[in-house]
Amino acid sequence: MKKIQKILVANRGEIALRIMRSAKEMGIKTVAVFSEADRQALHVQYADEAICIGLPPSNQSYLKGDVIIETALKLNVDAIHPGYGFLSENADFSRKVKEAGLIFIGPSPESIVVMGDKLSAKEAAQKYNIPLVPGTPGAITDIEEAKKKAEEIGYPVLIKASAGGGGKGMRVVENNEEFESQMQRAVSEAQSSFGNGAVFVEKYIGSPKHIEIQVLGDTFGNIVYLFERECSIQRRHQKVIEEAPSPVVNAQMRKAMGECAVMVAKSCHYFGAGTVEFIVDEKLDFYFLEMNTRLQVEHPVTEQITSIDLVKEQIKIAQGEPLSFTQNDLKILGHSLEVRIYAEDPKNNFLPDIGTLETYQRPQGLGVRVDDGFSEGMTIPIYYDPMIAKLITFGKDRTEAIARMRRAISEYKIVGVETTLSFCDFVLQHEAFLSGNFDTKFVEKYFTPDKLNNKNNENELNILAALVGKLLTENNNTSTQNENNSVSQTNKKRSWKDRSR
Ligand code: MV4
């Protein structure tokens, strides 16, 4: 067993910094790589060494796997942490890292391959009797056969790309007549987005909740679950607010989902940190959707409620240590929320608002954590994700975590760009959010820009600015609210509720 002494972080922004913090606590040296756009970035300043690897566009820097591996070898690095996005779920990259004699801090390339394709992921899970959304067992090859299957399942159905992600290549089909045209659209979108036109059919769950389970596995086959994250509050497949635990999951459901997640991880011999995604229907029946083979953006809420440093665990697993705890050692210690603060204007259809952080003051105090990669005076680069920060709170229960989040949002002072802070505050005081009675349609059901409050109403300058803004631009937003039809589950399936596991 080789102790890692130096890690190259193949990422940028808040997650690069997040990873380096854990490395530092473990006495591990860090190397930052950066693009020309990130010369002044905090992850560059924080690292022990920093190397420029190319031009601002990510395909000329953060996605250049070969350059990153060369850099790692030149600087005598032991391991590479890919963070999330970029190369984190690229099986070729993880294989090449290994072949170069370096440690990839993440799962095996084989696990990435199996879980990277939705059909092969479902196939792996099926062997362990994990609940799956009813659908075609494989890719559609024959239209007539697929139509027959769709009728059997019952319309509406969803056509999904096997290589898909972020809703691309996904089409709802209402009836037999439109099946063929919708399928052609799905195939061509999948082909152009992923270079793989394979699609399959599933029963369409109209207003699902998105609940995911964090797992950790070591290289000896021990796997544990670190409970769930509720991620239903999202807008166009981009998560906005995440929390742990979920307000609708009870102890029995938690155990059932957790054990399913562990089985999914077992099905691909998983090691490292991973997330098993489920969709949950209105009857609280859950179905495995896919597995993300990386550290996720929203991992902090799990860290808060378990007191486990997931990055430290990833590093220990990567250097061949067995897990130092068992399932029984894990307890939920409280409640945590995360809001993602984007440089986007919620009053203007969430248009990215890139600029300079003229004022940037983070909230502080008990139970508040800010994971970010910026400080006052910095300009947000146009080349990457417009996320400024993740604001995380922890409290003894959900009520306290929410109150703390609203307090922290009111303390946050960002001037220079529009942000989603006010939008997050809108969600946090909404009755549906407070009651836990919400799903992935929350934003389209309830949000219109006129519902935003100016959150900084103690700040005189902002009051003035808001007044002037109101006078100058008459608000002429006429948003419509989508009516959404919930689908009643017709197939009576075995559920966690009538099983004793
Ligand atoms: C679904 C679904 C309804 N029924 N599958 C969206 C992206 C991909 N991760 C899976 N997704 C969905 N799959 C069936 N059979 C609805 C979604 C979905 C969704 C899922 C999780 C979080 C947000 C979502 C937003 C829209 C649609």
Are the beta carbons of 235 and 427 closer than 8 angstroms? no
Looking at residue 61, its amino acid is S
- Cβ of 442 closer than 6 Å to ligand 1, yes or no, is no
Neighbouring C-beta atoms of residue 351, cutoff 10 Å: 13
Residue 104 is encoded by which pair of tokens? 């990839």
Instruction: Annotate 410-432 with DSSP letters as a single string.
Output: HH-EEESS--SHHHHHHHHT-HH
Element (H, E) at 13: helix 13-25
| Ligand 1 pocket mutation, candidates 119, 174, 277, 440, criterion most atoms within 8 A of CB | 440
Are the beta carbons of 295 and 14 closer than 8 angstroms? no
Element (H, E) at 32: strand 29-35
**Looking at the domain 337-447, which fold is it?**
D-amino Acid Aminotransferase; Chain A, domain 1 (3.30.470)
Q: How far apart are CA 138 and CA 161, in angstroms?
A: 11
- Cβ of 202 closer than 6 Å to ligand 1, yes or no, is yes
Map out the domains of the chain as residue ranges. Answer: 6-105, 107-132+205-333, 134-203, 337-447
User: In the CATH hierarchy, which top-level class contains the domain 107-132+205-333?
Assistant: alpha beta
| Ligand 1 pocket mutation, candidates 172, 207, 237, 489, criterion most atoms within 8 A of CB | 237
> Which residues are marked as active site?
294
Give residue 465's pLDDT. Answer: 57
Q: How far is the CA of 242 from the centre of ligand 1 (A)?
A: 16
337-447 and 6-105 share a CATH fold? no
CATH number belonging to domain 6-105: 3.40.50.20
Mean pLDDT by 10 residues, the chain (501 residues): 93 98 98 98 98 98 98 98 98 98 98 96 96 92 90 96 85 95 91 91 96 98 98 96 98 98 98 98 97 98 99 98 98 98 97 96 98 97 96 98 98 98 98 98 97 63 58 45 32 52 35
- Cβ of 289 closer than 6 Å to ligand 1, yes or no, is yes
Closest ligand 1 atom to 206 CA: 3
Q: How far apart are CA 157 and CA 481, in angstroms?
A: 23
CATH architecture of 134-203: 2-Layer Sandwich (3.30)
Give residue 468's pLDDT. Answer: 61
**Distance of alpha carbon 501 from its chain centroid, rounded?**
29
pTM for the predicted model, two decimal places? 0.91
- Cβ of 153 closer than 6 Å to ligand 1, yes or no, is no
Give which of 83, 35, 36, 6 is closest to 371, Cα–Cα: 83
Give residue 165's pLDDT. Answer: 76
Are the beta carbons of 449 and 443 closer than 8 angstroms? no
- Cβ of 157 closer than 6 Å to ligand 1, yes or no, is no
Neighbouring C-beta atoms of residue 192, cutoff 10 Å: 11
Q: How far apart are CA 21 and CA 371, in angstroms?
A: 11
Residue 4 is encoded by which pair of tokens? 């890692």
- Ligand 1 atom 6: the closest Cα is on which residue? 167
Q: How far is the CA of 452 from the centre of ligand 1 (A)?
A: 27
- Cβ of 234 closer than 6 Å to ligand 1, yes or no, is yes
Q: How far apart are CA 101 and CA 123, in angstroms?
A: 32
Give residue 467's pLDDT. Answer: 59
List, for residues 337-384, the tens digit of each pLDDT value: 999 999 999 999 999 999 999 999 999 999 999 999 999 999 999 999
Query: 352 vs 42, 314, 356, 393, 414, CA distance in Å?
Result: 22, 33, 13, 25, 15
Closest ligand 1 atom to 167 CA: 7
Phi-psi region of 344 (alpha: psi -120 to 50; beta: other; left: phi over 0): beta
Give residue 474's pLDDT. Answer: 45
Torsion, Cα 461 462 465 469, to 10 degrees, reads -170
- Cβ of 10 closer than 6 Å to ligand 1, yes or no, is no
